[in-house]
Amino acid sequence: MRPPYSPQCDEVPLEPDTVEPLERQDKNRGKKPRSVRARRIRRFVLIGLLCLSIIPVGSYAQALTYPGNASFADRSVGWMRNNGANDLVNAVENWYYTNNAPSGARPEPGAVPHALMAPVPVGATLPVLKVNHASGTSLPNEGQWLPGQLGSDGKPAIYTSFIQPDDNHPSVIAGVALIRQAASTAHLVAGTRQPDTNTWPGNAAVPRNDVSHLLATFNAGFKAKDISGGFYFNGQYSRALITGEASAVITKDGRIGIGAWNQGVWMTPQVAAVRQNLHLIVANGHPEPGLTSNAGGTWGSAKNQLQFTWRSGLGTDANGNLIYVAGDGLTLETLAKTLVQAGAIQGMELDIHSGQVNFSSWAPQGTTSVPTKLLPGMPNSSDRYLNPDQRDFFYLTVK
């Protein structure tokens, strides 16, 4: 049996600094401000570093200074994982994220997109996003598609929206993006450390000449050491591609296909790049069975599927459109259901946790382009991938 996966993350929570009565802890569970969580993460990292101080500090210094964008927490926790604390990090994050469910209240105002809705062109084929919640209260503009930058055919190349995907936790917001592949060209970029530190084309950032044509930028999947799948780009393999693994396949005409390797997608002379990540979570328009049990570590380390955390996913719909979804407080099952609700017939999980989930749509402004986050609270800067990054990522340009 294949050993369980262990997805990386850039934040690991701490025990509270003070002891509260159990009643107060239960009342406040899932409602801690993000700033408090961030401070606790930093303190945990520092404590962990002290605990691991018997390891030569040279490797830690290298981790902190290695080229490419990555937060202090991501670099530090990654170093801890690589130096004997992987199981400890997994245990702590599983405990924290499964025991701190999102709030049952309405979302904070700052978490909800507030862009004014624009009319959707007549004839646009878009999925209907369900907004009839059990509570009977929908948010303004929820489930309404916002057209973005126009393609060369004069029609929007991208649409964005948001929904509340979890009736049990109304505070959770999921952002949804639909990209018309007939109007866009997809690209995969290797980071300075992912999938490996070998020499790859480019400089781990969006090429300067493509910035003015940007349509969208978004994160890829787990770190290479935490999955069995491979990575292929421009004739170069980081690791062999594995049959059955969920794969985002970019063909030379710039389209992305999503499927299980050698079962729904294959290597052909037209394949330009392949990024694998775990197994499909949506197949034939339905969530895959077993998402809540994650038997054998099919979708990452044990119990990570139950964590309420930032998650992202990528899929394709029946019309060939590309679907990206992301949100905070999502379990693996909720992520899969969100992809289906957005119209995906095939879908895969990308990366998880706040430091690794990033999507921006882009619109032209003068001689360049301006980014907008899919969700206001999405971590990291909206122009993250204009600078060299340690992680691999996708970007799309408008035709």
Whether 94 and 120 map to the same domain: the answer is no
In this predicted structure, which of 96-100, 337-341, 378-382 has the lowest mean pLDDT?
A: 96-100
High-pLDDT (> 90) share of the chain, %: 63
- Kindly state whether residues 148 and 292 are assigned to the same domain: yes
Number of compact structural domains in the chain: 2
Is 7 within a domain? no
Q: How many CB atoms lie within 10 A of CB 154?
A: 8
Helix axes 72-80, 86-99, angle to 10 degrees: 120
Dihedral (CA of 38, 44, 48, 49) sign: positive
Averaged pLDDT for residues 82-101: 78
Per residue in 255-270, pLDDT tens?
999 999 999 999 999 9
82 lies in the same domain as 222: no
Q: Are residues 115 and 92 in the same domain?
A: no
- Show which of 80, 99, 118 is a domain's final residue: 99
**279 plus 359 within the same structural domain:** yes
Q: Which of 4-13, 71-80, 183-192 is the least confident region? A: 4-13
Residue that terminates a domain, selected from 99, 124, 152: 99
- Residue 297 within any structural domain of the chain: yes
Instruction: Say if 105 falls within a structural domain.
Output: no
Contact 155, 215 (CB under 8 A): no
Residues 221 and 359 grouped into a single domain: yes
Nearest-angstrom CA–CA distance, 215 and 151: 9
Q: In this structure, are 123 and 85 located in the same domain? A: no
Is beta strand 309-317 parallel, antiparallel or unpaired with respect to 344-352? Answer: antiparallel
Mean pLDDT lowest among 47-61, 132-146, 187-201, 311-325: 47-61
Name residue 390's amino acid: Q
Using 50, 70 and 90 to split pLDDT, how confident is the model at 252? Answer: very high
| Type of residue at 59 | S
pLDDT value at residue 13:
46
Cβ count within 10 A of residue 95: 14
Instruction: Give the confidence band of 105 by pLDDT, cuts at 50, 70, 90.
Output: confident
Which tokens go with 375?
A: 């969700």
Residue 148 located in a structural domain: yes
* Residue 135: exposure state from Cβ atoms within 10 A (0-12, 13-18, ≥19): exposed
Domain final residue pick, 51, 66, 99 = 99
| Span 292-308, pLDDT tens digits | 999 999 999 999 999 99
pLDDT at 80 over 70: yes
- AA letter at 23: E
Are 263 and 319 found together in one domain?
yes
Same domain flag for 129 and 254: yes
Q: Is residue 260 part of a domain?
A: yes
Residues 76 and 208 in one domain: no
Residue 128 lies in a domain: yes
**Residue 198 and residue 295 in one domain:** yes
The domain in which residue 313 lies consists of 110-398
Residues 152 and 66 in one domain: no
123 vs 364: which has the higher pLDDT: 364
pLDDT digits (tens, 9 = 90+) for 107-143: 888 889 988 788 888 778 899 998 877 766 789 999 9
Nearest-angstrom CA–CA distance, 14 and 93: 9
Residue 351 in any domain: the answer is yes
Q: What is the DSSP string of 194-209?
A: SS-SS--SS-SS--GG
Q: What is the pLDDT of residue 91?
A: 77
- 4 within domain boundaries: no
